[in-house]
A and B are shown apart, each in its own frame.
Chain A
Amino acid sequence: MEHKIEASTSNIMPAQFARSLYYDMARIRQFENRVVTLVDDNEIAGVCHEYSGQEAVAVGICGALTTSDIVTSTHRGHGHTLAKGGDVGRMFAELLARTGGYNKGRGGSMHIADVGIGIFGANGIVGAGAPIACGAAHKFKAARENRVAVSFFGDGAINQGVLHEAMNLAAIWDLPVIFVCENNQYAISTPLKEVTILDPYVRAQSYGMPGVCVDGMDVEAVYHAALTATERARTGKGPTFIECQTYRYFGHYTGERHMKMNYRSQEEVDRWKLRDPIKIWAARMMESGLCAQEDIEAIDAEVNIEIDRGVEFARSSPPPNPAEALDCMYAVPYPNTPAWGVEP
Chain B
Amino acid sequence: MRQLRFLQAMNEAYHQAMGADESVMIIGEDIRGGIRGETKGLHGAFGDLRVLDTPISEAAFTGFATGAALAGLRPIVQFQVPSLIYVAFDQLVNQAAKMRLMLGGQANLPITYTLMVSGSRGGNAGQHSDNPYPYLLHAGFKVVCPSNAYDAKGLMIQAIREDDPVVFIASAMSLPQKGPVPEEIYAVPFGCGDVKREGSDVTVIAIGHLVPEALAVAERLAQEKNISVEVWDPRSLLPLDREGLLKSVKKTGRVVIYDDTNRTCGFAAELSAIIGELAFSSLKAPIKRVTRADVPMPFNLALEAAVLPKPQQLEDAILAVRSYAHV
For window 90-136 of A, CB contacts with B under 8 Å fall at: 101-107, 111, 113-116, 120-121, 123-125, 128, 130-136
CB of A175 to closest CB in B, whole Å = 9
B52, B62, B70 — most chain A CB neighbours (10 Å): B70
For the complex, is A331 an interface residue (Cβ under 8 Å from B)? yes
Most interface-central of B64, B65, B106, B278 (chain A CB within 10 A): B64
* B-facing residues in A135-161 (Cβ within 8 Å): 135-142, 149, 161
Known: A337-B191, A343-B278. A131 touches B70 (CB 8 A): no
Contact, CB under 8 Å: B102 / A134: no
- Of the candidates B49, B60, B243, which one forms a contact with A168 in the assembled complex, judged by CB atoms under 8 Å apart? B60
B45 CB–A CB distance under 8 Å = no
Contact with A335, one of B60, B105, B191, B277 (Cβ below 8 angstroms):
B191
Interface residue B307 (Cβ < 8 Å from any Cβ of A): no
Q: Which of B87-95, B167-175, B312-320 contacts A (4 or more CB under 8 A)?
A: B87-95
Whether A120 and B67, one on each chain, are in contact in the complex, defined by CB atoms closer than 8 angstroms, is yes
With an 8 A cutoff between CB atoms, is B57 at the interface?
yes
Contact A140 B71 (CB under 8 A): yes
For B67, what are the chain A residues with a Cβ–Cβ distance below 8 Å? Answer: 72, 120, 131-139, 149
Q: Which residues of chain A from 276 to 328 have any CB-CB distance to chain B below 8 Å in the complex?
A: 327-328
- Judged by a CB distance under 8 angstroms, whether B66 is at the interface is yes
Q: Does A169 contact B (CB under 8 A)?
A: yes
Does B104 lie at the interface of the complex (its beta carbon under 8 Å from any beta carbon of A)?
A: yes
Contact A331 B163 (CB under 8 A): yes
**In the assembly, what is the distance between CA of A144 and CA of B211, in Å?**
47
Interface string of B147-160 (1 = CB under 8 A from A): 00000000000000
A188 within 8 A of B: no
**Residue from the list B57, B66, B278 in contact with A132, Cβ < 8 A:** B66
The CA-CA distance from A161 to B59 in the complex, in Å, is 9
From B60, B240, B243, B278, A169 is in contact (CB under 8 Å) with B60
Complex CA distance for A123 and B57, rounded to whole angstroms: 20
Is the CB–CB distance between A330 and B100 below 8 Å?
A: yes
Contacts of B94 in A (CB 8 A): 124-125, 128
Check B61 against A131 for contact (C-beta < 8 Å): yes
Q: Is B146 an interface residue (CB 8 A)?
A: no
- A343 engages B162 (CB within 8 Å): no
Give the chain B neighbours of A137 by CB distance below 8 A. 67
Contact of A343 among B60, B163, B277 (CB under 8 A): B277
CB distance B103 to A166 under 8 Å?
no
Please pick, from A104, A169, A330, the residue contacting B55 in the complex, using a CB distance under 8 A.
A169
| Cβ contacts under 8 Å, B61 to chain A | 131, 169
Q: Which residues of A contact B311 (CB under 8 A)?
A: none
Partner among A105, A114, A332, A337 whose Cβ is within 8 Å of the Cβ of B238: A337
A336 within 8 A of B: yes
Q: Is the CB of A104 within 8 A of B104?
A: yes
A106 to nearest B CB, angstroms?
4
Q: Is the CB of A135 within 8 A of B277?
A: no
Is A46 close to B, CB under 8 A?
Answer: no
> Cα distance A140–B100 when bound, in Å?
21
Residue of B nearest to A149 (CB): B67
Tell me the bound Cα distance from A102 to B278 in angstroms: 39
Q: Is B120 an interface residue (CB 8 A)?
A: no
Q: Which residues of A contact B238 (CB under 8 A)?
A: 337
Contact A135 B66 (CB under 8 A): yes
- Determine how close the nearest CB of chain A comes to the CB of B165; give it in whole angstroms: 9
Contact A132 B101 (CB under 8 A): no
List residues of B (69-108) whose CB comes within 8 Å of A's CBs. 69-73, 75, 90-91, 94-95, 99-108
- Is B122 close to A, CB under 8 A? no
Q: Which 9 A-B pairs have the closest CB atoms?
A: A135-B67, A131-B63, A165-B60, A104-B104, A334-B239, A103-B104, A328-B105, A139-B71, A135-B68
- List B residues at the A interface (Cβ < 8 Å): 25, 49-50, 52, 54-55, 57, 59-73, 75, 90-91, 94-95, 99-108, 110, 140, 142, 162-164, 190-191, 238-240, 242-243, 277-278
| Inter-chain pairs besides A121-B103, A131-B64, A139-B71, 8 sampled, C-beta below 8 Å | A72-B67, A131-B67, A135-B65, A136-B67, A138-B71, A141-B49, A329-B140, A331-B163
Interface CB pairs A-B, < 8 A, 12: A103-B102, A106-B102, A130-B63, A133-B67, A135-B68, A135-B70, A138-B64, A162-B90, A166-B60, A331-B100, A331-B105, A332-B162
